[in-house]
Amino acid sequence: MPKVNAKDMLLKATAENYAVGAFNVTNIIQMKAVIAAAVSKRSPLIIQTSVTPSKYLQPEVIAGVYSILAEQAPVPICLHLDHSDEVDYCKTCADAGYTNIMIDASKHDFEENIQQTLEVSRYCHDRGISVEGELGTVCGIEDQVVVAEDEAQLCDPDKAQEFALKSEIDLLAPAIGTAHGVYKTSNPVLDFDRLEKIAEIINGKEPRIPLVIHGGTGLSDDVVRRLVSLGGAKFNVSTELKHVLIDTTYDYIGEHRDQYNPGKLDVAVSAAITACIERWIDLLGSGDKA
Ligand SMILES: [Zn+2]
């Protein structure tokens, strides 16, 4: 299929009350494995990279591979830059061929967040690229963005509408208590009422600005379903994929210590990642929605 940005994909998800998974990858093997799951489940899907792997591999390389794989796939696939806190790097990735860009200026005050996000929105919209902004801060560690638990601030529903309109974003990531990394408790405190209120204010009559849930790893299936039912339309999962990758690699090498065939290791890792993503697609309800 032709390359797509995230906006129409997520407006449809919001209207039909399912979510599209957005999965962090750091190399081509993972990219192929994630797309394989989308194809087998006939699901739309978002591949995302954080800033460090994007800079390491080079955005042109990532976008180049994405372009080939997305056009071969019979389902819509979007390439998203996650949590860039540099306006210039957002533009670099937009020029390279990413189709959705997240400018995370949430550490700044409200007005500065709007200004930086607006600059990225206008640049990207001229190029047919959609933009995600963040209001409030998600605690934990996501690549270069580190937010301590006692510094995290939840998204103010009364400010969400103003932020979304003034910054001209396509997607809003409201902080509602989810966290990056591994949750310290099996039952993290999430503010469902806050999400519901934001969804009502922003998307009440008709979906306009789909909502993004960060920190998907470690939430129970029931919590994920509830977040989706309350309006979460893009669901970010990063840490779980890192665990699958490292654990599968470790186990495979442990069991095949006398084997020196990286291709077989790639196959084992790919299969584990594909299975992980297929489970998420079932959970989020995006299967057969391509
Ligand atoms: Zn995030």
* Listed residue (160, 152, 154, 236) closest to 198, CA to CA: 160
**Residues within 5 A (CB) of ion ligand 1:** 142, 214
CA 142 to ligand 1 center in whole angstroms: 6
**Hey, which residues are catalytic here?**
82
Give residue 48 CA to ligand 1 midpoint distance, Å.
10
CA of 97 to the centre of ligand 1 (A): 21
Distance from Cα 238 to the centre of ligand 1, integer Å: 8
Q: Tell me the residue length of the chain.
A: 290
Burial, 204: exposed, middle or buried (Cβ in 10 Å; 0-12, 13-18, 19+)?
exposed
pTM of the model: 0.96
CA of 261 to the centre of ligand 1 (A): 35
In this prediction, residue 147 has a pLDDT band, given cuts at 50, 70 and 90, of confident
Q: Which fold has domain 7-284?
A: TIM Barrel (3.20.20)
What confidence tens digit (pLDDT) does each residue in 54-92 have?
Answer: 999 999 999 999 999 999 999 999 999 999 999 999 999
Query: pLDDT band for position 148 (50/70/90)?
Result: confident
> Which of 98, 91, 111 has its CA nearest to residue 49?
98
Give per-residue pLDDT as tens, 158-185: 999 999 999 999 999 999 999 999 888 8
Domain segments of the chain: what residues?
Answer: 7-284
